[in-house]
Amino acid sequence: MEKATFGSGCFWCIEAMFQRLKGVENVKSGYSGGETKSPTYKEVCSGESGHAEVIQFDFDPTIISYDELLEVFWKTHDPTTLNRQGNDVGTQYRSVIFYHNDAQKELALAYKKKLDESDIWPDPIITEISPLDLFYPAEDDHDDYFNQNENQPYCAFIIAPKVAKLKKVFAEKLA
């Protein structure tokens, strides 16, 4: 198993998508990329901690490759908006890949370059690609959030459509 760490807006959204992929296990919401030691959700939401909301997970590269994970990452959010995904605004919602090794770094940079050259988006991709320094797990009530709160308004109106799109676009990769 290998590890991956991605941020693309609210971690409840990205967790709900990646935990449905074959070969992905132990999806954990958390914080990374900032200065505050052992931050809380409240500190991260303030925008002053420097951390992004991220997920970290294990994956089996014999079942799903890092390139396939990158494909899901880039196709399930807008990587051209700075510090924003939908109504979620702030540096904590930035598009970011925290790589765990040089191979992940090279794959992420190559994929980003390919997307930039394809002109799929009218604006440039601003996704940050940085080495993982520290990952701080979020409070336990953030884990498996969508699955436990599907009828909560944010889940029903924001996350559920993303999960539906994932099921449509990546059906062959779903567990």
pLDDT in tens, the chain (175 residues): 999 999 999 999 999 999 999 999 999 999 999 999 999 999 999 999 999 999 999 999 999 999 999 999 999 999 999 999 888 899 999 999 999 999 999 999 999 999 999 988 889 999 999 999 999 999 999 999 999 999 999 999 999 999 998 998 888 889 8
Q: Which residues pair with 97 in a beta bridge?
A: 6, 129
70, 59 contact by CB (below 8 A): no
Q: 27: alpha, beta or left, given left = phi > 0 and alpha = psi -120 to 50?
A: beta
2, 61 contact by CB (below 8 A): yes
The catalytic site residues sit at: 10
For 135, the enclosing helix (H) or strand (E) is strand 135-137
Report, at the CATH architecture level, how domain 2-173 is classified: 2-Layer Sandwich (3.30)
DSSP 82-115: TTEETTEESGGG-EEEEESSHHHHHHHHHHHHHH
Alpha-carbon distance of 37 to 48, in angstroms, equals 12
The pTM of this model reads 0.95
Q: What is the DSSP letter of 139?
A: P
Please report, for the chain, the start and end positions of each structural domain, with discontinuous segments joined by +: 2-173
Q: Which residues pair with 57 in a beta bridge?
A: 4
44-71 core/surface letters (b: 16 or more CB in 10 A; e: else): bbeeebbbbbbbbbebeeeebebebbbb
